[in-house]
Amino acid sequence: MFIIVGLGNPGEQYLKTFHNMGYIAVGDAANLLGAKFKKRECDSLVAEAHINGEKVILAKPLTYMNNSGVAVKQLLAKYKATPQQLAIIYDDYDLPKGSIRIRPCGSAGTHNGMRSVIAETGTQDFARIRIGIRDAAVDVPLINYVLSNVREEDYALFAAACTKAAQAAAELAKGEPCERVMTSFNG
């Protein structure tokens, strides 16, 4: 059993925003694993895949970013999974745009969605796959930036980052140690 959650906001208006990198990446992971988002449960859109006979749940919380932890807590309870069987994919303003950083645990940093996940689950001990979104050339308040649309000239860069994050999530779901996945994908 493994759960991959991509953080984001539901709704057409958020589809191409920086804050939806997690949604996009978990969608890429579902495509990679041959899964489709068909059901709604645990305040999430959910897809199911299997790797080597083990169930993999992929989820897009519908709780909006700042309450993502509510859905994550429900998913862990429903599937009787531990935090060590969880990976969260999300945007991170603290990393340069297009970069990927994987960690086995850690703080929420400046991310409200991760603050919610940590508060609701009561732990920081789960894998996280961060997609860098900071553009040093853009100087706007953080809340405006994360909810703005990705610029067309950056689509290819972020599409590649989301694909890479999806591949890293699939490796974690296969049981690869986080340290090995970090070595392969961080940068």
The pairing of strands 2-6 and 39-41 is: unpaired
Token pair 């086995």: residue? 104
Task: Report the alpha-carbon distance of residue 66 to residue 125 in Å, rounded.
Answer: 19
Question: Residue 84: is it exposed, middle or buried by C-beta count within 10 angstroms (0-12/13-18/19+)?
Answer: middle
From 7, 8, 19, 76, the catalytic residue: 19
Catalytic site residue 111?
no
Amino acid identity for residue 131 in this structure: I
Name, in order, each residue with C-beta under 8 angstroms of 82's C-beta and a sequence gap of 6 or more. 76
Task: Report the alpha-carbon distance of residue 49 to residue 4 in Å, rounded.
Answer: 11
Q: Which residues are catalytic?
A: 19
